Structure 1
Amino acid sequence: MPTVAAVSEWLDECTHVFEGRVDELNELDGILGDGDHGTNMYRGFAAARRLDLSECPNANDAMRQVGMSLVGTVGGASGPLFGTLLLRVGATWPDHLTLAGVAASLRQGTNGVMARGKAVRGDKTMVDVLLPALDSLEADARRGADLESAILDAVDAADEARDATAAMVAHRGRSALKSESSVGVVDPGAVSTALILRTGATRIREELRARTAA
């Protein structure tokens, strides 16, 4: 069963990663937006890291606590969107790590983001990373792949999808105000989403290996 400690460790890693990518994300966001996406994401995860998760009864509740914190501390539209992702994932995260369970949980999180942000595939948003990662997980589940290889496939798909946003025209958020100028620029929200998925995959792999070694 996933643990509260695993969520805390994932949160530590995310915070560290965002701290090191603040300038990069701000620079991307500054081309078409307010130029503060990196600052906002780091601030939000740093605030969530200060939460006392020790009294959470399970990993699901810990993820929901992190999601609620992000809603309140990440500025702009990113807070509600990334917060919704974690709230929905936390509400449906499987008690036992299985590929079908992880895919179903990410499906709920992605649906929540799409409903809240009104974005669809091709709008040049975080959805353009979530959906390919989800497609990969669900395809691997259909062919009977193991969870560890499936999550590696999914984060590779997420990274490819992140890079592919550069060729897209923005249709949502502040970037849409300069939609034609958005071509050639990687979406900063897509970068952040890929980072979150990759750190999450790393934590899942370590959980699986710990379970195998026990």
Structure 2
Amino acid sequence: MELNEKQNKEKIISWISFILVIFVLGGMFWYVYQEQNNTIAGFQENAQRLQQENEAVNKTLDEMTKNLDKTNTGFQNNVEQLQQENEMVNKTLGTANKTLNELKKTLAKTNDELAVVKFVCSGFTECKQQMGKMLQERLLKRNGIDTFTEEGGGTGLNFYKYFLVPQKWDGSADPVSNEMLAFIKAECPAKIYNQQGFLVSKSRYRISKTKIAEIIMDNSDDGSSEILCAWTVDETTKQFQKID
């Protein structure tokens, strides 16, 4: 009975966590869309404030050290405490600077308002999966594809072995034609097909009666939201066209 109660509690906690993540995602998306520049400014302001606090602690530490010879040895405990606080401030400052640098790199790489949401979302599998869907839809709309219907795809796909034996494919996924493999090798990042064990997922969208769009995403980190390559296929002519 206690085990069931514990399992029920864990399930409730998991659902609550998932719901909270969704709310956080929605809130952060709206916030970033409106005030992306303010987010960076906020990080810089916090880093500057921590730097000022660090300088103030260092100044106090220096003054206490100078007065130590004129007072009794009891002040040594205070100096040690200030040193510990100084180390904590330095550590916090280092973490803040590291976070700011990572955020700047993310913003520079993606150059869109979803960058901060992706950064916050990076630790949650469900959140990354939802982010992946959002990025796919944004990619299609950015390329003038406003009407589309998802038709499936596959996950955990290993193109490395399909380049070695093109006709073999998992039963849960679609066949890979030689034309597709040739297109991927010509247009997509090499890591998709030249790294043994590198897994990707493929999503397919119907965009017209004779055309489909396919999107390859990084599947090596359990729900990564990084788009690696995307294209459209004319089912009549079998022609591929890359979309960015």
Q: Please confirm whether the aligned pair reaches a TM-score higher than 0.5, indicating the same fold.
A: no
> What is the TM-score normalised by the length of structure 2?
0.22
Greater helix content: 1
> What is the TM-score normalised by the length of structure 1?
0.24
Bigger CA radius of gyration = 2
